[in-house]
Amino acid sequence: DVKVTQSSRYLVKRTGEKVFLECVQDMDHENMFWYRQDPGLGLRLIYFSYDVKMKEKGDIPEGYSVSREKKERFSLILESASTNQTSMYLCASSSRGRHAYEQYFGPGTRLTVT
Amino acid sequence: AQSVSQHNHHVILSEAASLELGCNYSYGGTVNLFWYVQYPGQHLQLLLKYFSGDPLVKGIKGFEAEFIKSKFSFNLRKPSVQWSDTAEYFCAVNDINAGNMLTFGGGTRLMVKP
């Protein structure tokens, strides 16, 4: 089974803090994704990466950056957290080829910024 | 840009009732279609997918979905729901021109009363 893990299930940070969310997958997937999930808005793509050190902006990249130094690990960084970044953050991964569209999700990190 | 609409935000059914959740997407080109489910406290997981071929696809746990290209729709159905189907359901669309990215609908929360 594909396993995608995220470093924290719950996180509370103060406005202005730098926040790191970590995601690790164990299936050698090339593609990795960061989403935020908000009630009524579904999942919105923040960034994705299709290879080590490669990244592409998603629909809502403002206020976020990412890092992918190793194939299995994809980090989301909030440079200066703000209250409107309070949300559930989901990481996902997928392979290339015909299964590239099937994404496997981690458990999520619920971030509260106070 | 692709957009996905799930018109029912909350659905409450009694056990054994039939279920149909609507999903409409905006782009009329070639798409791959998915339904994901998130059970309480669990990861988002794939319920079923459509890439090509028979427009009626069957997924896990007795769910099925029908792709109607002329209506840009991919509605999810189950003839008889169970209490264990209580979850949030997300429709997702991959526009093949957008690479491996998925666009998600806002989600539908289903509650099944025992």
Q: Rounded to an integer, what distance in angstroms lies between the CA atom of residue B28 and that of residue B61? A: 30
What is the per-residue pLDDT for A108?
95
Q: How far is CA B102 from CA A68, A84, A102, B40, B96, in A?
A: 20, 23, 9, 22, 10
- Sort strands B108-113 and B10-14 into parallel, antiparallel or unpaired: parallel
Q: Hey, what long-range contacts does A60-64 have (CB within 8 A, 24 or more apart)?
A: A60/A36, A64/A34
The 3-state DSSP class for residue B18 equals coil
- Identity of the amino acid at A45: L
Cβ-Cβ contacts under 8 Å, B104 against chain A: 35, 42-44
The 3-state DSSP class for residue A97 equals helix
Contact map slice: A 33-92 vs B, CB within 8 A:
33, 35, 39-45, 48, 50, 58-59, 90, 92
CA B34 to chain centre: 6
Q: pLDDT under 70 in chain A at which residues?
A: 1-2, 98-99
Q: How far is CA B73 from CA A59, B76, B84, B91, in A?
A: 23, 10, 26, 10
**Could B44 and A105 be called an inter-chain contact, meaning their C-beta atoms sit closer than 8 Å?**
yes
Instruction: Using only the alpha carbons of chain B, give its radius of gyration.
Output: 14
Tens digits of residue pLDDT in B63-91: 999 999 999 999 999 999 999 999 999 99
What is the per-residue pLDDT for B105?
94
**Could A42 and B46 be called an inter-chain contact, meaning their C-beta atoms sit closer than 8 Å?**
no
Average pLDDT, chain B: 92
Cβ-Cβ contacts under 8 Å, B101 against chain A: 33, 45, 48, 58
**A83 secondary structure, DSSP code:** G
B106 pLDDT band (50/70/90 cuts)? very high
User: Of all residues in chain B, what percent carry a pLDDT higher than 70?
Assistant: 100
Rounded average pLDDT over B92-114: 89
**DSSP codes of every residue in B32-98:** EEEEEEE-TTS-EEEEEEE-SS-SEEE-GGG-EEEEEGGGTEEEEEESS--GGG-EEEEEEEEEGGG
Question: Are residues A47 and A35 in contact, defined by beta-carbon separation less than 8 angstroms?
Answer: no
